[in-house]
Amino acid sequence: MQDRSGEAIVEMVDALTTNFTSFMREASHFDFLRRKIGPVLAKRNQARIWCAAAATGQEPYSILFTLLDTLGPDADVRVLATDISTKALASVASAVYSDSAVSGLPRGWLDRFFIKGNGRWAGWHRVKAELRARVECRRFNLLSSELPDKQFPAIFCRNVMIYFDRPTQELVIHRLVQRLEPGGYFFVGHSETANCARQELTYVMPAVYRKGDQWQSKR
Ligand SMILES: C[S@@+](CC[C@H](N)C(=O)[O-])C[C@H]1O[C@@H](n2cnc3c(N)ncnc32)[C@H](O)[C@@H]1O
């Protein structure tokens, strides 16, 4: 039987890949985002970050909340959230999370960034509509989809390359780095490396790399 709509393939991918994620996962990255990238973005009139394996949304919203907390609530911050799984992307768009999912968020963030569910939604929290609108969801296969048409000061591609063999990791990193600004930062998961891309990326700290050295030379 032919799968003309591609739905069967999407369902198979959803079944095979794990969407495990959490808010502020690998917290040192969000500290780095705040301390090192925040001041650079503060000098611009907009900040656009790409989260390239966004799963169910905890990572792109963690990026958004961290930057709004750092740059102020009126800062023009947007996150491109991509994933191969359409099911995961639907969760990013609806942005509804359980008590336990939001329990690790910094103090005060729940009130600032979420609305609390009532009635049958008691125990659930939804990201406020004006914040959901700042996260663009798009289906994107790291191996083959057409790259976004802009460059980003930071790209997160965390905890997905562990599923790929080394040549595939090299391909994915090479593709994404094309959409990283010179001097921009590339984040992988703490159990991953981008050491295979030494010609394009400089190691900064565990699981953080920088494209070229432009930002460093200006400091
Ligand atoms: C374990 S989750 C990691 C989520 C998040 N980045 C984190 O670190 O918490 C891996 C995600 O990668 C996605 N994924 C797997 N293969 C992919 C591919 N070829 N292109 C894009 N996303 C992919 C899965 O759908 C899943 O949502």
| 127 CB-near residues (< 8 Å, 6+ apart) | 57, 61, 95, 97, 113, 114
**Whether pLDDT at 46 is above 50:** yes
Q: Which of 9, 10, 13, 17 to mutate to test the pocket of ligand 1 (most atoms within 8 A of CB)?
A: 17
Q: Please tell me the predicted confidence (pLDDT) of residue 196.
A: 85
Decide: 91 in ligand 1 pocket, CB within 6 A. Answer: no
**Whether pLDDT at 52 is above 70:** yes
Maximum CA extent, the chain = 60
Q: Please tell me the predicted confidence (pLDDT) of residue 113.
A: 98
- pTM score of the predicted model: 0.93
CA–centroid distance, 168 to ligand 1, in Å, is: 14
Cα 68 to Cα 23, 114, 129, 152, 164, distances in angstroms? 15, 14, 15, 17, 33
**Whether pLDDT at 177 is above 50:** yes
Decide: 142 in ligand 1 pocket, CB within 6 A. Answer: yes
Residue bearing the bigger pLDDT, 153 or 17? 153
Mean pLDDT of the chain: 92
Task: For residues 208 and 1, give the distance between their C-alpha atoms in angstroms, rounded to a whole number.
Answer: 45
Least Cα distance to 215 among 187, 180, 189, 188 occurs for 180
Q: Please tell me the predicted confidence (pLDDT) of residue 214.
A: 42
